[in-house]
Amino acid sequence: MKQTQFLEVVDRDVAEERWRAVVGRASLASETIPLAESLGRVLAEDIRATVDVPGFDRSNMDGFAVRASDTFGGSEEEPVRLVLNDEILATGIHPKIEVKAGTATTIATGGMLPRGADSVAPIEITDVDPADSGAIFVRAGRVPGAAVSFAGTDMGSGETVAFSGTLLTSRETGLLAAIGREHLRVVRRPRVAVLSTGDEIVQPGEEMRPGLVFDSNGQILCDAVRELGGEPIFMGAFRDDVAALRKALKEALVDSDVVLLSGGTSKGEGDLNSIVVGELEPGILVHGVALKPGKPICLAAQGEKPVVILPGFPTSAIFTFHEFVAPLLRDMAGLPDETRETRSARLAIKTQSERGRLEYLLVGLVGGTGESEDVGDDGSLSAYPMGKGSGSVTSFSRADGFVRIDRNTELVEAGTKVEVTLIGREVPVADLVVIGSHCAGLDLIASELSRHGLRVKLLAVGSHGGLAAAARGECDLAPVHLLDLETNRYNEPFLTPGLKLIPGYRRMQGLVTRLEETREISTVVEDESLRMVNRNRGAGTRVLIDRLLGERRPAGYPYEPRSHYAVAAAISQGRADWGITIETVAAEAGLRFQPIQDEHYDFAVPESRWNRPALRLLREWLDDGNSKLRRVLEAAGFSKD
């Protein structure tokens, strides 16, 4: 066995250069396919027209084929009289009668222009001679070529109409159909074998047990390959067994151009992918890149065939795929390098980074000028870190872009101007931007708005973070549930000038434990043998927790998940013994719930955004006690009063 540890952690550009020196950059060989299957493929040949298009002189209008010289001087007062030939030229009819001086032939749009004619008089400028149905009057003069497409004016026989390297869209396929091309030579699509690995992996639809995770990487990577024009071959998921992995890798190498394994890139005892990949020749070229997320990526090869072990965590896997694998697949498929769009923004929240590693920080973008549509690149955007780590499945899917933090930077202060590389082609424009405290009821509101055709962007940063965002004009709605201890009033005392409040709903916060814990709140909280689960700083629930604890800091206090669901999960799985969450989430999780505080969950709104359409609709729904939204909230345990 060649390798069981990191060879060395290298710079990102050094890693790519070392790997590409072996696997190359050339596109794959060509293959011949029918035109009907060519959409989205890349041409591997120059294509020349073998016919003229149009192939004949063609009328562009319904009317009469005429000699232009016969119509000169025609007017409304003195129209020109022409005798009709005994022929009607519908499409597909080959003319038999020549248009001679003083005559005309009836012709349809697309009809073949007869000999002698050099223009078309449209019906709109002609009248049938009332005394002779076999003649017409032309009320305006025509010039040669009027309403006519001459043969070969679109494309001439021998003309190159599409060049090698062209990505075929519907425009190109239509053009190729117009010259009668039936088969094309295109660059062969890269075939990419995808293997998921790890004892903890189960496929969607299989039984889930504690300690296991559903295989999202297999789906993510296969679809990412498809998006790049490749053909994924999902080999399945494999347990941590050297013999099984060795056999699967051997099979994958036979019928693919690239092999991707996900998981097993670190130095842990159960990570065996690097062992079997290390047996290849030349084998592992890079194992460890100064990159976050994605440090443990392994770049390897069998001969010149690329083999990559991507990290097991979803965000790390997809980031490193797009950083190293996607450019290679584009080269193989004959596609040009991808040009990513960027936007200037200011970082909304102070962010720490790890010195020595280039970090890609996923962010959500919101406008900061009072209108969420105002998303120019002049720095008026604010970038909110998604903050869920490399193990998050949702971070990449919900992020608008990412910020590169230099390897020598440890801290980026709030307000720092940053360049955001967009993940899509543009910043999605939301009808309603929501920044603040998260709640299961908020999800119900967002769902109803989405059903109404509105796009909602949610960023959970806690009540205090939401109020700050609303004060800066970065959001339409800031959900809050903050209790002022001096007045014993919720939310309104925390409003700053320029903010208004939309009353939301009531929800019950309480202490949650597993069902076997039957003691009262005070006894549970004071039991030093029990472990708690906290909430993130800035959350309204954190204020309630600190008020309950006073100066005490029980075991588990530093554990600060960002959602009510995460609190319930920690207790259900035995990682904590008690925590504070809302009654709705506790009931869903099957936990014992003891009420502590009946909260007001309301919405702070910048006055400048008060009359935006989405907010007017939401206010209407919340004001109406019998609206569908109110009924949905009530059914979930979120009451109006």
171 and 133 within one domain: no
Same domain for 545 and 412: no
613 and 560 assigned to the same domain: yes
Q: What CATH number does residue 401 fall under?
A: 2.40.340.10
633 vs 397, which has greater pLDDT? 633
Coil vs helix vs strand at 171: helix
Rounded Cα–Cα distance for residues 13 and 290 (Å): 10
Asked whether residue 567 is domain-assigned, the answer is yes
Let me know if residue 640 belongs to a domain: no
Q: Are residues 22 and 168 in the same domain?
A: no
Pairwise CA distance, residues 115 & 57, whole Å: 10
Helices (H), 422-557: 440-451, 463-471, 521-526, 540-549
Tens-digit pLDDT profile for residues 461-515: 889 999 999 998 889 999 999 989 899 899 999 999 999 999 999 999 999 999 9
Residues 558 and 621 in one domain: yes
Domain match, 494 and 347 both: no
Q: Rounded to an integer, what distance in angstroms lies between the CA atom of residue 471 and that of residue 210?
A: 43
Kindly state the tokens that stand for 147: 């309403």
Say yes or no: 309 and 350 in one domain.
no
Which of 85-99, 166-180, 199-213 is predicted least confidently?
A: 199-213
Q: What is the CA radius of gyration of the chain?
A: 35
The β-bridge relationship of strands 282-287 and 298-302 is: antiparallel
What's the CA gap between 628 and 621, in Å, rounded?
A: 8
Residue 162 token pair? 């599409």
Question: Got the DSSP string for 323-336?
Answer: IIIHHHHHHHTTPP
The answer to whether residue 1 sits within a structural domain is no
Same domain, 109 and 225: no
> What is the C-alpha separation between 134 and 103, in angstroms, rounded?
10
592 inside domain = yes
Beta partners for residue 490, in sequence order: 483
Q: Which of 426, 458, 493 is the last residue of a domain?
A: 426
CATH number at residue 183: 3.90.105.10
Tell me if 434 is assigned to some domain. Answer: no
**Cis ω for the linkage preceding 293 (within 30 of 0):** yes
Q: How many residues does the chain have?
A: 641
Cα dihedral 543, 549, 550, 553 sign: negative
Give this prediction's pTM. 0.74
Q: Do residues 346 and 413 both lie within one domain?
A: yes
Within a domain: 441: no
Same domain, 455 and 593: yes
The confidence score (pLDDT) of residue 389 equals 57
**In this structure, are residues 422 and 342 in contact, taking their beta carbons and an 8 Å threshold?**
yes
Provide the CATH number for the domain around residue 134.
2.170.190.11
Q: Are residues 355 and 251 part of one domain?
A: no
Give me the domain span that covers residue 496: 448-635
Cα distances from 527 to residues 535, 553, 554, 569, in angstroms, run 19, 12, 9, 21
In whole angstroms, give the CA distance from residue 190 to residue 331: 10
Number of domains in the chain: 5
Q: pLDDT of 553-605, one tens digit each?
A: 999 999 998 889 899 999 999 999 999 999 999 999 999 999 999 999 999 99
Average pLDDT (163-184) is: 92
Q: Is 404 found in the same domain as 285?
A: no
64 falls within a domain: yes
Q: Is the peptide bond before 558 cis (omega within 30 degrees of 0)?
A: no
Of residues 281 and 399, which shows the higher confidence score? Answer: 281
- Whether residue 372 has pLDDT greater than 50: no
Residue 95 covered by a domain? yes
> Would you place residue 39 in the very low, low, confident or very high pLDDT band (cuts 50, 70, 90)?
very high
Q: Which of 332, 358, 388 is the last residue of a domain?
A: 332
How far CA 191 is from CA of 71, 233, 255, 256, 265, in Å, comes to 64, 7, 8, 5, 23
